[in-house]
Amino acid sequence: MTTVAPARSGTVYFREVCESTAGALAGLSCHRSLEDVAAMYEAPDRKGLGDSAFPCFPLAKELKMAPQEIASQLAGRMERPRSVTDVRAIGGYLNVWYKPEIVAAEVLPIIAAQGQRYGSAEEGRGRTICMDYSHPNIAKPFGVGHLRSTVIGHSLKRILEKLGYSTIGINHLGDWGTQFGKLIVAFREWGDEGKLAAEPIAHLYDLYVRFHADAESDPGLEERARREFKKLEDGDRDNRLLWQRFRDLSLSEFERVYRRLGVTFDSDAGEAFYNERLSPLIDRLVQSGVARSGEDGALIIPIGGEGEAPLLLRKADGATLYATRDLAAAEYRYDTYHFDRCLYIVGSAQALHFQQLFAALKAMGHDWAERMVHVEFGWVKFADTMMSTRRGNIIFLDDVLAEAVERTKRIIADKNPALEDADAVAEAVGVGAVVFWQLSVKRQKDVNFDWDDALAFDGRTGPYLQYTHARLSSLLAKWGKPISMDRVAWGHLNSEEERKLVLRLGDWPRAIQVAGRQYEPQVLAAALLDTAQLYNTFYQKVRILDGEAEAAPARILLSDCVRQVLAEGLCLLGLQAPHQM
Ligand code: ARG
């Protein structure tokens, strides 16, 4: 992997702390870049632990010292920049305390000047990241697993772009495979043009289900399906046209969902796109000896050690597989985009597939194989109350979004009946609630989805963040004049909440960096929830507009900065930030 260029962004006070930490580390003969140091720092959430904490555990092995000993050595050696009031070693962490006036006087003007650009960085300049996300299957409902991939991928795309990377969003549609033989047979047998036009995916899905039910008693169906798929692969015109129609109709339904989510792609080259590349690829792999025949006439790429499953390249009957198309896709992406990294945002259920894929690319001699990353995530589980949105055995995303918006409309009608544009706001908030819920859980964990939890205006939810943002917008509209920096008295930001809020805002660029490094939007979700919570406590305790007049400009400035960070954070997660709700 290439090294990361120095970041020019971020705040001076934190950079100084990273510099002196790196200096103290160097004194122990441990050399780390500023970016590595910055990424290691944490924002501790326990009382008494300082404003930033540097964990020493990861260095214990290299330095052959106990973490607590490293922390004390660092505390002893570290220079104190002027923003720092105290440095202490506690439980294996180096803890740093800041002087709030200095931090506020630096951070707030930066946010006021940079607005939504605050937190942007240069580390990705000149580097391209391919991102494979969403990738639903043609003629099948857009399920919740695909939703989670879609929202994680979309958010990571915005985060990585914020860090300066160029991104290529790829919708690797599941648009090829033996199921299309089944669909062709089923459609000719039982298809209905009217239903296909009205609700294409629901109709195609019904046909698919019916095919499987009927095939139990009529084995001839499977054989017919195989023949039709073979014809499709050989380029039969009628089958090809039918397949194209299924694909177009499905994609236009998916696009409706993407529009609601604000999701876009740079390419929708799906599995079928690679068809022509498969036989040259296979020939090359056979000639170079990378692929060989398995016991049963199949063609495989042996990988790893003893007992590890080989990658199946071609079945004995000549059919290629999902993995074959992924190999071709990886080569195509590298040749086309020269990516610095290629991310696959796919559920953990496919972990083995990606291990095999990456190992096979390595066996093929591609030194870029180590740039591939499986960004995996857990399952989405629905509470019982969700089952009303179920059709047959699955939950359609369309129905989930519709219900979320309906419920939000009822909440708004109750809380704020006079709201203008209530329908547009309900759309932004209802859809936002579903999106945020997926991102507020660390991606490797399962998500449990329930209406009341996800929609609560006062919970750890998207609507809560949007509501806080709207409340701030109306406060600032009431103030209604620009803030001149020389009238801001920094010393007034002295309550515990103000101090913490300022530090939270100062920590925002680091949070974005960490989210990008870990491919983890949840880092931002947690930072925003914390910010909103601190702000709401502050708002309840402190009289902002009609309190002490000299304190007002500082408090309004702080409020405006919180609003900017919330707005930008919501955008990075893929949510809208309405000004009223
Ligand atoms: N369409 C696949 C599925 O629904 C996911 C595709 C993931 N991307 C990839 N390049 N394999 O399971």
145-157 per-position pLDDT tens digit: 899 999 999 999 9
Asked if residue 1 is part of any domain, the answer here is no
- Quote the ligand 1 centre to 429 CA distance (angstroms): 29
Query: Each residue of 401-444: pLDDT tens digit?
Result: 999 999 999 999 999 999 999 999 999 999 999 999 999 999 99
Instruction: Give the DSSP letter of residue 45.
Output: -
Query: Residue 165 belongs to a domain with what CATH number?
Result: 3.40.50.620
- The residue contributing the CA closest to ligand 1 atom 5 is 135
Encoding tokens for residue 134? 């969403």
pLDDT above 50 (res 52): yes
User: Helix (H) and strand (E) counts for the chain?
Assistant: 21, 14
Asked if residue 446 is part of any domain, the answer here is no
Q: Are residues 263 and 334 in the same domain?
A: yes
pLDDT for 386 equals 61
Q: Are residues 271 and 350 in the same domain?
A: yes
Average of per-residue pLDDT across 257-263: 96
Q: Are residues 247 and 376 in the same domain?
A: yes
Could you give phi then psi for residue 201, rounded to 5 degrees?
-70, -40
Q: Are residues 322 and 221 in the same domain?
A: yes
Asked if residue 238 is part of any domain, the answer here is yes
Encoding tokens for residue 48? 């008494």
Query: Each residue of 544-578: pLDDT tens digit?
Result: 988 888 899 999 999 999 999 999 999 999 999 99
Asked if residue 187 is part of any domain, the answer here is yes
pLDDT above 50 (res 8): no
Encoding tokens for residue 275? 């068809």
Q: Are residues 229 and 134 in the same domain?
A: yes
Q: Are residues 94 and 152 in the same domain?
A: no
Pairing of strands 93-98, 128-132: unpaired
Q: Are residues 209 and 257 in the same domain?
A: yes
Our count of domains for the chain comes to 2
Compute the mean pLDDT over every residue in the chain, rounded to the nearest whole number: 93
- What is the SS3 assignment for 166? strand
Mutate which of 175, 179, 342, 350 for ligand 1 pocket (most atoms within 8 A of beta carbon): 350
Q: Are residues 72 and 138 in the same domain?
A: no
pLDDT for 3 equals 35
Ligand 1 binding pocket, CB closer than 6 Å: 132, 135, 137, 172, 174, 326, 329, 344, 346
- Indicate which atom in ligand 1 lies nearest the CA of residue 145: 4
> Hey, which residues does 394 pair with through a beta bridge?
391
Q: Are residues 43 and 189 in the same domain?
A: no
Mutate which of 346, 348, 353, 361 for ligand 1 pocket (most atoms within 8 A of beta carbon): 346
pLDDT for 392 equals 61
Q: Are residues 253 and 146 in the same domain?
A: yes
Average of per-residue pLDDT across 176-197: 95
pTM: 0.94
- Quote the ligand 1 centre to 244 CA distance (angstroms): 19
pLDDT band of residue 2 (cuts 50, 70, 90) is: very low
- Quote the ligand 1 centre to 387 CA distance (angstroms): 26
Element (DSSP H or E) covering residue 377: strand 372-377
Q: In Å, what is the CA distance from 319 to each residue of 198, 206, 228, 301, 361?
A: 34, 26, 13, 15, 20
pLDDT band of residue 252 (cuts 50, 70, 90) is: very high
Query: Are residues 559 and 475 in contact, defined by beta-carbon separation less than 8 angstroms?
Result: yes
pLDDT band of residue 6 (cuts 50, 70, 90) is: very low
Asked if residue 87 is part of any domain, the answer here is yes
pLDDT for 389 equals 55
Asked if residue 440 is part of any domain, the answer here is no
pLDDT greater at residue 308 or residue 74: 74
Query: Each residue of 480-522: pLDDT tens digit?
Result: 998 888 889 988 888 888 989 999 999 999 999 999 999 999 9
pLDDT above 90 (res 294): no
Residue ranges making up the domain that contains 67: 12-98
Q: Are residues 83 and 133 in the same domain?
A: no
Transcribe 303-372 into DSSP letters. -SSTTPPPEEEE-TTS-B-HHHHHHHHHHHHHHHH--SEEEEEEEGGGHHHHHHHHHHHHHTT-GGGGGE
Could you give phi then psi for residue 53, rounded to 5 degrees?
-135, 135
pLDDT above 60 (res 7): no
- Indicate which atom in ligand 1 lies nearest the CA of residue 329: 10
Last residue of a domain, one of 354, 386, 418: 386
pLDDT for 48 equals 82
Q: Are residues 35 and 145 in the same domain?
A: no
Last residue of a domain, one of 58, 76, 98: 98
- Quote the ligand 1 centre to 150 CA distance (angstroms): 12
Asked if residue 161 is part of any domain, the answer here is yes
Mutate which of 172, 265, 267, 326 for ligand 1 pocket (most atoms within 8 A of beta carbon): 172
Last residue of a domain, one of 78, 98, 118: 98
Query: Residue 33 belongs to a domain with what CATH number?
Result: 3.30.1360.70
Asked if residue 242 is part of any domain, the answer here is yes
pLDDT for 82 equals 92
